[in-house]
Structure 1
Amino acid sequence: MVVSGRRDDSPVPRNATLLLNSEGRLVLQSTQGQDTNIAEISSPGSSASMLDSGNFVLYSSDKEIIWQSFDYPTDTLLPTQRLLAEQELFSSISETDHSTGKFRLKMQQDGNLVQYPTETSDTAAYSYWSSATNGWGANVTLNLDVDGRLYLLNSSNFNTENLTEGYNATRGIIYLAKLDSDGILRLYSYNTRQDRASTVVWESSKNKCDPKGVCGFNSFCVLNDQKPECRCLPGYSFVNQGNWTSGCERNFTAESCSKKNGSVKYMIQPLENTRWEDLPYFVLSETTKEDCQQACLVDCNCEAALF
């Protein structure tokens, strides 16, 4: 498991050095002498330490913590770390590319913990999972204990919701919560003694097709032996054959409305038992399947119909 900082920056050179310089700033120094500031601090740092919790902290001369990595989560929460109100976890692009991916988990001001695609607004239409705890007020936090208990806590330290009940706090076992690249939040049990093996002990969804947008534009997700598989709509092909989450594009040339003089023939191909996120521009009332199909065929602007 990897916790990344500055994840969308260029890769760090092999010969770069993390340095607490003479000015008390924590910087990443390259052999070219270029310093990249790592921590925004109001006063000079005196020392830095990697704690057993996984928190990297910067201290003042008075031994006060003036900066800590736990305040800047990426896709992972470690034990004793919190996700504050209005903070978010962002998934990685893939298991090997830790740049910002397609999904986010937000601790909202209304007390609700919600999963969305990255480039969307915080509205129910885009949500694909939530803790259903809206209305608990501001300043609710998501917390992870050392025993694997993942829970929500309000500003009065009242436990509003247990996402997991917790497990045995065994020596050598570390629990961590991660928003994976497939858009699902999972709690892992990580064994530091036995080949560093990890086990999923809880996940926000069992259906890997639940995350909205997992397959990209003009494609849809189906489960094949419980594994997600993206397929293109009829008349479309994958944009990138080596990446089935990249979406699909037309494999035919669409005629403009001005050229449709009756000689252009289209047909509708059905996709049954498919759930669509639907925002129609026109709704027919009391219609049959055949009438719905015909209404789309004679409408130059209609590209899909949902019955």
Structure 2
Amino acid sequence: MSAAVVLLLLFFSGITSNADEVTKFPISLSSSLTPSTNSTWLSHSNKFAFGFYPTPNGYAVCVSFTSYFDKSRTVVWTANTDDPIVPDNAVMLLTEDGLVLKSTDSSETVVMIGNSSRPIGGAAMLDNGNFVLFDYHGSVTWQTFDHPTDCLVPGQSLSPGTQLLSHASETDLRKGMFRLKMQIDGNLVLYDSDSLDVSIDAYYESGTAGRGNNISLTLQNDGHLCLFDGTSVVMNITTGGNLTFEVLYLVRIDPDGIFRVYSRSWQPEDDWRPIYCGYKDVDAADCRCLPGYDRISSGVGCISNLVMDCSDKDQSSKFGMTRIQYVTWEDNYYSALDVSSEQGCEEACLKDCSCRVALYRNGQCRKQKLPLRYGRWQTVIEDVAFDLRCLFDIKGGTLICI
């Protein structure tokens, strides 16, 4: 019997042996929600809520903390992250097929949430943050714990082949730019959302590839986050504390691409505090573009805001190169040339209107594709970076760098 079913026994008034009779569930068939009136179903102790969650862009279907325990109503699960916003006149109905979202002025299904191969008999919002659908016999047919979005709560695991997706922003619940993948090869990897599952596109790897195909990322009740193969711990990511029901933990891949562990007490006036950020104690990442570059609106990377006229391919009379220290990017070049010096690399880039950034090392000049990705500060870098973000003031004859 699953842990979810055991918890539900506290709520049930009884399970009959007659298959024709429906088990009495906390949320029965034909129960419904609307954004404007009864917008959520609550867990037994009013800690968690499932249902319509207000955002600046409209309503989304989420599992969140209730305002009684968390004034900000932190979201831990979101339905349909590709397009989470539902019409203001939506109604959600629990049916034998699953949770059906319809418009009040139409019988047409807008979204199906948690559909099941077995007829559904009822549902429950559990106190551990798991929203569960059950068949008529009380067996789990679908649960949010099996379909995580950007978070894990204690008792939840990220199983092989699944991933967490960041939100677009703190208030925009659409799919964002980063993902954390628990690969079936046993490796836990951070990628941008549009990349392939290949090492060259990773900006973090746990280094556990080949350790087994049954490894999951697991958050335990004491805040211990680890890679677990079902028998033993493969890798500790954080250490656990003393198990106490007065402290709650949360793991989330944030919109900035950093994977953080948070903690807070159950006191309503408390707030979430990061207790672990990133990996290898990299906890002060500042994700931003260099001066003269803007973050692209979709995807990951930065693009130059310098306007150039490529009718004249040689830009040396109009622009100049700036040497950038202690910065490097993913080395994704479209052309590599043999040159005799750093100055030769600058000149080669200026004579190519497609060139914005070049990396120089040991007599080779590599012109980089845009957008630039995975930029980072490092004190020891073999490459010398040159950036086209200076232009000549025609009247004054000076070089102005933006």
TM-score by length of 2: 0.63
Q: 2:247 is matched by which residue type in structure 1?
A: I
Q: Secondary structure at the match of 1:151?
A: strand
Structure 2 residue runs of 5 or longer lacking an equivalent are 1-73, 361-402
Alignment map for 1:1-40 (pairs within 5 Å): 1-2=74-75, 3-9=77-83, 11-14=85-88, 16-21=90-95, 23-32=96-105, 33-35=107-109, 36-40=111-115
Pairing 1:254–2:313 present = no
Q: 1:270 to 1:150 in 2, by over 3 A?
A: same
Determine if contact 1:57/1:67 at 8 Å carries over to the other structure. yes
Counterpart pick for 2:348 among 295, 299, 303: 295
Q: Distance in 1 between matches of 2:92 and 2:276?
A: 35
Q: 1:166 is matched by which residue type in structure 2?
A: G
Identity %: 37
Give 1:290 shift: 2.0
Q: 1:68 to 1:27 in 2, by over 3 A?
A: same
Q: Distance in 2 between matches of 1:266 and 1:165?
A: 53
Pairing 1:130–2:183 present = no
Query: Which residue matches 2:261?
Result: 187
Pairing 1:159–2:214 present = no
Cα-Cα RMSD? 2.8
Count residues in correspondence.
281
Query: Which residue matches 1:269?
Result: 322
Q: Distance in 2 between matches of 1:117 and 1:261?
A: 35
Counterpart pick for 1:147 among 222, 245, 253: 222
More strand by share: 2
Q: Secondary structure at the match of 2:262?
A: strand
Q: Distance in 2 between matches of 1:57 and 1:159?
A: 28
Pairing 1:102–2:183 present = no
Q: Secondary structure at the match of 1:114?
A: strand
Pairing 1:89–2:164 present = yes
Give 1:120 shift: 0.7
Give 1:247 shift: 4.2
Q: 1:290 to 1:9 in 2, by over 3 A?
A: closer
Give 1:246 shift: 8.3
Give 1:174 shift: 1.4
Give 1:76 shift: 0.3
TM-score by length of 1: 0.81
Query: Which residue matches 1:47?
Result: 122
Counterpart pick for 1:118 among 193, 213, 229: 193
Q: Distance in 1 between matches of 2:268 and 2:314?
A: 71
Q: How big is each residue's C-alpha offset from its partner over 1:116-154, in whole Å with a ceiling of 9 and x where there is no partner?
A: 111111122221112221121212111111111111112
Q: How big is each residue's C-alpha offset from its partner over 1:218-273, in whole Å with a ceiling of 9 and x where there is no partner?
A: xxxxxxxxx5443344xx56778xxxx984444323314xx448996543222222
Q: Secondary structure at the match of 1:42?
A: coil
Structure 1 residue runs of 5 or longer lacking an equivalent are 210-226
Q: 1:159 to 1:43 in 2, by over 3 A?
A: same
Q: Distance in 1 between matches of 2:266 and 2:89?
A: 28
For the pair shown, which has the larger CA radius of gyration, 1 or 2? 2
Give 1:10 shift: 5.0
Determine if contact 1:208/1:228 at 8 Å carries over to the other structure. no
